Structure formats: structure tokens, C-alpha cells
Structure 1
Amino acid sequence: MFGFSLGFVKIIRPVTLGIAAVGLLASCSDSRTQIRIVGSSTVFPFTTAVAENFSRNNPEYLAPIVEATGTGGGIKLFCQGVGSRFPDVANASRRMKPSELEDCRKNGATDIVEVKVGIDGVVLVQGKKGVTLQLGLRDVYAALAAEPFGKKQTARTWKDVNPALPDVRIEVVGPPPTSGTRDAFNELYMAAGCDTDPAMKALKKSDEDRHKEVCNKIREDGAFVEAGENDNLIVQKLGANPTAIGVLGFSFLERNLDTIRDVPIDGVTATYETISDFSYPASRPLFIYVKAQHVKAIRGLREFLDEYTSERAWGPGGYLQRRGLVPAPDDVRAENRARAAALTPLTKGDLE
């Protein structure tokens, strides 16, 4: 494997791992001696922090391997099968889709445990030197849709979208389609902004496919720039271009307040309080997915799961909150801790 060390965690670049699989992992548990985790770049820093603490508290186990592959790419790798060639855990900044769970099952990964690890916000941010903006969900959709409300896209500046906004060119830097943050952006900003129009709500009832195309498809003329899976790269781009807006997870805003600020959405600023009570329009839960079939086979995986669901990690004042994660409510944490302890498998009905 090719990589570098960060603290106690070995982080590797997305390269192909040459580890041979010999049947099911349960029958060859010594063929891989490290936990392998893939998925969301948003969840990545939180899982890395858990892995560091797990290694510190359990020196008898090798440090987990953590890869930032994006939610979609990570779940695809995760669902390819059971055995030492396949990841044990997938980080996800949106919920697993029914079709993804079905892919897991087709490939033998029949017992997938879903753990909601906390709350995040999909925030719009800008460099501190930029013109101060306050946007509504409708403004964001109208600026970025390929066919806003089913009409030709003609807006070039924010003022074109809303006369109350400044005459600044529309340029939004965000994640690619493989990112869970992009999926969440489509749902929480694009679809929500689109449905502020009663005609679009009616379209959803009469022609769901057309509604999805009109409401979710983002323009491709340069107003929206894909910056890859690395959210830190978006922060850098905003520093170089004060007129641009970025799409990020709340934790990245928290870690870079010296250079960027949030763009209030419908008058609500992104804070721990507004995200935790979901008054911020773009709040979302974050997840990890674990193969129950790997828990007995991979040394330390049970202990890693216990560490992730401990109050010292994900509870109020825990070390994940200090990294920018917004703790889930007490009852949600209790429910998910119990699910992780019992290795309760996710069902298709849970996702519907």
C-alpha cells in the first residue's frame, strides 16, 4: 500500500489494494489485519479522529486505513462483496439508497448496519473579502438550474436572479456528482428551491421524471464549477476568488473561519444551534455503514464501533464536536448506539 501517516491513522490515496481474497472473510480473518474504511470526504475527518483515539486506546490493533473516496464511490466499493478485498466500513454524507443496499445483498453483504453518527449542514460560504451575500433557496436554484422553473437559463449575475442581490457574476464551486454533499445539495437547495413554485410542486405529481430533470439538473456553462472530492480545495479556491461561493460541509466552515464566512440562507446563519434543531434549511444527518459479517473476522472492528458510538466521541462536548460535528439528539444517539451494539441489519423498508 502507498500512503502516509497522520497521527495514529494510516491514510492512503485511492489506489487499488493488492490483497488476495480467499472465500469469506470469516474463514480467513488473518488475511487482513487492519480495518479498512472508505467513503465521504465530509465524514472523513470525524472517522479519522475516531481511528486515532481507537489506536491510542487499543495499541494491540493496527491503525485503521481511512480513504476519502466520496460517498457514492465509497459505497460502491463497500458493496462489492464480503471478504478481505472489500472495505469493512463506509462513511456517508447522505443515506444509503435502496438500490445500493440491493447491490450489497447481491454481492453477499447481507447484514449492513447503519449508524447515524451526527448532524452536519450543507453550507454556502464565501471568502471574507467578497461582497456580502444573503440568499434564499429560491435564489440558489434559479441561479444554478439548467432550466429554472422549466425555462431557459439566462442569469449571469446574482442581480439577474433577484433585483435585491448585488451585480456579481454567479460562480459556485462545489463537489462532483459522486459526492454525498452534492446529493444533499441537490435535495436541500435545488429541489427545495424549485418547489417554492406551486407549478413545480404540481409537476412532481403529474410527471416525476420531468420534475427531477427541471429541479435537479445543474447548468453546465461555467457558473457551477466542480472542484473534486477534496473540500479543502474549495476553501483554497474561495481564497483566490472572493466573488465565488463554495458548497461545503459545516465542519469545513468551522475549521476555516479565518478565511471564509457563511452565506445566510433565508435569513438563517449556519451555527451549531441552527443545524442541531434543523432550523437551518440545509441540515443533514451523517452516517457510517458497517458489515456485520466482518465484525467477528476483522480484529478491532467491534472496538472501533464501540469507540465511534461512545459519548466521549460523538456526545455533546466530545472530541468529534470539537472537530465540527454537531451531536445528534440524546434519543437518536441512544437508538444508534443500541443498533451498533446489536449489529441490527438495515432493511429496504428502513430506506423507504
Structure 2
Amino acid sequence: MRLNHIALAVVVSGAAVATTANAARDTIQIAGSSTVLPYASIVAEEFGNTFPQFKAPVVGSGGTSGGLKQFCNGVGDNTIDIANASRKIKDTELAACKKAGVNQILEIKVGYDGIVFASNANKAAYKLRPQHVYAALAAQLPSNGKMVANPYTRWNQIDKSLPNEAITLVIPASNHGTREVFQEKMVDAGCETYAAIKAMDKDAQKKACSTFRKDGKVIEIAGDYTETLARLKTSPNAVGVFGLGFYDQNRDKLRVATVNNVAPSEKTILNGSYPVSRPLFFYVKGEHLKSIKGLKEYTEYFISKKVSGKGSKLERAGLIPMSDKERAAVLANFKAGKAVK
């Protein structure tokens, strides 16, 4: 089963969630991460089938930042109940929530995912390191004591071990939680290998590490991974950034790269040897637990071992499950109403 074909009946655009919430408060409203979206869509469909007394939740996208922005709009029928996220909520987002009266923010970890780099299946394999990725996308690079326009046009100019292919990197746009993990664990890590950049003041260093080239070699995708995959079809030499779960569902179309000589897999992500991985979450608005039918039950159903543990449908769809110990702790915190501080 392809992730992008799952539970289409309950998937809507992020914009539709907030506007329809007032008209459907017997239905859980969800928005956020495109990485968590396919898993939440599976659970929403299964939840509706398993609990006929509740309607299937409406699952929207919009990216982690967009979902949390909707989540933090306030409390009440015209606001969403859950924000899916491929990263932890930020302090600035917590502050925005609290300012709007959202104080009971319950963090639910659902499992893990890796961020992978993949090219078309018929292309040569890439053996990437963070410094390769930074050198490919940076607007400027150090040279002879000053920052100059990025001179690289082909991967093998960066490192002779890389394929002799034109540089085209297809990356998530800034609305994605994936982008932030990609920035931290690949771009920043690669940027910091340059002594000249490390010697800069903090503002200059941040600018050097986060300003990408605008010559068409870096393509930012605001939509989900299906759009990234489509771009690889139209740009055959491109390397795209995907979630491991999406890659697993499209292995026939994609060739995955190693990072620091480690291939992404459930094993290498859980043991920490693959460097570009992250936990996945959703955030529940505690103020809505009593007023929104099925919200408590949906949350507990999602994090049950049957639904998201080893051997579950979510694992088969690409989610890397938590350990039983982690799962028990997440459930205990939710039942205790332990809010994010």
C-alpha cells in the first residue's frame, strides 16, 4: 500500500481544517506534519472502523510549523485539537500557545523516522557526508580568507568519490519540521567543518550556514514528499530529501544514499549510527479532551502497541516503533495530564 493512497477520505488541506472545525465538533480536527500525515491517516481510518460511536478524525497537512500555528490559535470549536509534528514544539510556539490560552499541551511521541537522501533508482549511488551537502547548497563558501560565490556545479567537484552529476538538491521548504532537522544535522554539521566559518561571530556564522544558493541548484518544496518525488522525475539528476518511511514505500523508484558510510534503516536509526534521524510527535490540546468526542480514545489508540508497535500496520508503512518502555511512559504521561512546560 502506498502512503499517498491511504485514507484519502479523511485527508484534507491544512487550510480546510480550521475553517471546518466549527461545523464538525463531533469530529477530531488534526493538522501539521506531512511526515506524520500518512501514519495519522491510517490511524484515523482504523479508529473510525474500530470505534463506530465516533467519526473518523479529519487529518490535514500544512507542515509542522503550520500545524502548530493553527494549534496555538486558541481554545474552542474553531480551533484544531491535534498538531502532528516531526520535531518538538519550540519555546516560541509554546509562548504563542499560552498567550492564546492553550496551556494544556500534551506531547505524544509516536515513534521514529530517518531523513534520507535519494536519487532516481537508475542513477549512481551517493556516499554523502554533511560537508558534501553543505558545499552543494551554500550560497557562499570560504576561499583564501573570504566568502565567495559557490563555485561547484557538479558533485564530483566537491569530492572525487561522488558521482559526476550536475548538482540539483530538492529539499523541504521552511514550513517543514523535516527542514529543521535537515538544517541541524546535515547543513549545520557540514558548515561547522569549515574553520573559517567557525571563526566568524555568531551572526555571520548563522548567515553562512543558512543562506542557500539561488541559481536553481537548490529547489525547495513546500508540499509533501510526493512533490519531491515528482520533481526527481522531471529533474533526473536530482537528489531529494525524504522521510525513511516514504522511501521504504518507493524503493522501486529511488536509490538511497549513505551518510557517513551508514545506510538508513530501522536498526541504524535506533542504535544511533545513522546520523539524520528524529522522533515523531503529535500534540493534543488538553482543554479539548472533555469537549471533543473521541479525542482521548484516539490518542490512546494511536500509541497502543497494536496500532504503532512492532508488527503493526504503521511499522509496515514505515514508522520505526518505540520500545515498550517508551510507549508505557508516553501513555502514563498522557493519562496523568502531564503538559509540556
TM-score by length of 2: 0.92
CA distance in 1 between partners of 2:240 and 2:73 (Å): 33
* Aligned twin of 1:156: 153
CA distance in 1 between partners of 2:280 and 2:44 (Å): 17
Distance 1:7-1:144 versus aligned 2 partners, 3 A rule: closer
Aligned AA for 1:238?
L
Question: In 2, are the aligned partners of 1:8 and 1:56 still within 8 Å (CA)?
Answer: no
Q: Name structure 2 gaps, 5 residues minimum.
A: none
Alignment of 1:227-242 (within 5 A): 227-242=221-236
* Aligned twin of 1:330: 324
CA distance in 2 between partners of 1:98 and 1:36 (Å): 23
* Aligned twin of 2:310: 316
Task: Please say if 1:177 is aligned against 2:174.
Answer: yes
Residues 216-269 of structure 1, C-alpha deviations (whole Å, 9 max, x = no match) = 222221111122222112112223433110001111100000111211111111
CA distance in 1 between partners of 2:9 and 2:294 (Å): 14
Tell which deviates more after alignment, 308-317 or 190-199.
190-199
The number of residues matched between the two structures is 332
Give 3-state SS (helix, strand or coil) of 2:246's partner: helix
Question: In 1, are the aligned partners of 2:170 and 2:228 still within 8 Å (CA)?
Answer: yes
Query: How many Å apart are 1:6 and its aligned residue?
Result: 6.0
Alignment of 1:105-120 (within 5 A): 105-120=98-113
Query: How many Å apart are 1:57 and its aligned residue?
Result: 1.0
Distance 1:31-1:329 versus aligned 2 partners, 3 A rule: closer
Distance 1:198-1:6 versus aligned 2 partners, 3 A rule: closer
Query: How many Å apart are 1:32 and its aligned residue?
Result: 1.1
Give 3-state SS (helix, strand or coil) of 2:334's partner: helix
* Aligned twin of 2:188: 191
Query: How many Å apart are 1:9 and its aligned residue?
Result: 5.0
Give 3-state SS (helix, strand or coil) of 2:62's partner: coil
Give 3-state SS (helix, strand or coil) of 1:148's partner: strand
Residues 60-102 of structure 1, C-alpha deviations (whole Å, 9 max, x = no match) = 1111000011111111111111011111000011111100010
Query: How many Å apart are 1:151 and its aligned residue?
Result: 4.2
CA distance in 1 between partners of 2:42 and 2:337 (Å): 22
* Aligned twin of 1:134: 127
Question: In 2, are the aligned partners of 1:9 and 1:51 still within 8 Å (CA)?
Answer: no
Query: How many Å apart are 1:51 and its aligned residue?
Result: 1.0
CA distance in 2 between partners of 1:329 and 1:217 (Å): 38
Q: Name structure 1 gaps, 5 residues minimum.
A: 22-29, 348-352
Alignment of 1:13-162 (within 5 A): 13-16=13-16, 17-19=18-20, 32-149=25-142, 150-162=147-159
Percent of aligned pairs with the same amino acid: 38
* Aligned twin of 2:11: 11
Give 3-state SS (helix, strand or coil) of 1:71's partner: helix
Give 3-state SS (helix, strand or coil) of 1:312's partner: helix
* Aligned twin of 1:350: none
CA distance in 1 between partners of 2:112 and 2:210 (Å): 23
Tell which deviates more after alignment, 330-339 or 94-103.
330-339
Residues 93-123 of structure 1, C-alpha deviations (whole Å, 9 max, x = no match) = 1111100010000001011011111111111
Task: Please say if 1:282 is aligned against 2:279.
Answer: no
Residues 312-352 of structure 1, C-alpha deviations (whole Å, 9 max, x = no match) = 122122221111001123332222121122221001xxxxx
CA distance in 1 between partners of 2:122 and 2:302 (Å): 38
Distance 1:31-1:124 versus aligned 2 partners, 3 A rule: closer
Task: Please say if 1:246 is aligned against 2:243.
Answer: no
Distance 1:179-1:197 versus aligned 2 partners, 3 A rule: same
Tell which deviates more after alignment, 280-289 or 194-203.
194-203
Distance 1:116-1:198 versus aligned 2 partners, 3 A rule: farther
